[in-house]
Amino acid sequence: MPASLATFLICAILAAGCDSGGTPGSRFLSIATGGTGGVYYPYGGGLAKILNDHVPGVRASAEVTAASVDNLKLVRDGKADIAFALADTVADAANGRGAFEGTPAPVASIAVLYSNYTHLVTLASSGITSVQGLRGRTVSTGAPGSGTEVIAFRTLRAAGLNPGVDLTRQGLGASESAGALKDGKIDAFFWSGGLPTAAVQDLAHSPGIALRMIPTGALVPALQREHGPLYFPLDVPAGAYPGVTAPVSVVGVANVLVVNRSMPEQLAYDITRVLFENQPELAGIHPEARTLSIETAIKGSPVDFHPGAQRYFNEKGIR
């Protein structure tokens, strides 16, 4: 075989296997989620399943991560294809602020998925009834590189506390935080997640544990003045967890499914299409997917939608 022909055939094979054009082709997709005790991981596992089942040639896998900040860095650096992230962290990433200063992430939205509730969890026996009551206590502010850490610091500052001075901080994920609170190693923990969060639910069901959620909703105006309208008040309903006997007003923030702006349009379109066409299957995997709606999916994103996602919404008459 002439060398020129052999070279041509090798290039053709590589191009077919690594096609980044309109049709997804044979492609592995890494989905950056969060810790195993939160909502992102099971939701991401459900997304991987429906992509594998309904987009020919795509092999998707949900990856355990530290969540929002790390997820957006992974997408920025080409180490993940799809990411779950909080809207406030997405805004920082796109604008090169905070953890992304000097290295903004070129991200685009696929859909706004659901709202996160800022959990501030303690034991009923702790005597802590407000954010200000955390002064002098040992508190987990979320895993380093997580959206929980971002919102915890902002919530503490809005309450007049200095996270580095006024309390002893631990950087734990949801499951680790719940275990540390149960074992008396911390007095409270922050967690930004959907309802129910498995780690909190498991803690609340533990024998001898009486859980208390601290309200944070009164701090929303201060957060909005400082950071804009990305934050809003939400009520954790009575009965959301054992021990929550009345609604608790907390800080809310949207969760956004994002990709790199360089993702091929057809692939982004297929991800969006499969997400909504298979919403009932996702809802069977985690209850938060019940709130996924094409009408609300375009509301609250701090960045533009990917052209592929926008094409899907346009086809459905949603603009």
What residue ranges do the domains of the chain occupy?
A: 25-115+255-315, 116-252
Of 147, 89, 152, which Cα lies nearest the Cα of 120?
152
Of 211, 224, 212, which Cα lies nearest the Cα of 252?
224
- The mean pLDDT of 109-127, rounded to a whole number, is 97
Of 253, 255, 199, 259, which Cα lies nearest the Cα of 37?
199
% of the chain at pLDDT higher than 90: 86
pLDDT at 319: 74
pLDDT at 82: 98
- In this model, does residue 7 exceed pLDDT 60? no
Residue bearing the bigger pLDDT, 215 or 13: 215
Q: What is the pTM of this model?
A: 0.85
Dihedral sign computed on CA atoms, order 178, 176, 66, 306? negative
pLDDT at 26: 74
- The mean pLDDT of 24-51, rounded to a whole number, is 91
Q: Are 253 and 85 in contact (CB under 8 A)?
A: no
pLDDT at 145: 83
Name the band, by pLDDT with cuts 50, 70 and 90, for residue 30: very high
CA 51 vs. chain centroid, Å, equals: 19
Q: Are 265 and 311 in contact (CB under 8 A)?
A: yes
Instruction: Say yes or no: domain 116-252 is CATH 3.10.450.50.
Output: no
In whole angstroms, what is the distance from residue 267 CA to residue 271 CA? 6
User: How much is the mean pLDDT over the chain?
Assistant: 91
Identify the residue whose tokens are 């997820």: 71
- The mean pLDDT of 108-126, rounded to a whole number, is 97
Q: Give the DSSP letter of residue 319.
A: -
The class that CATH gives domain 25-115+255-315 is alpha beta
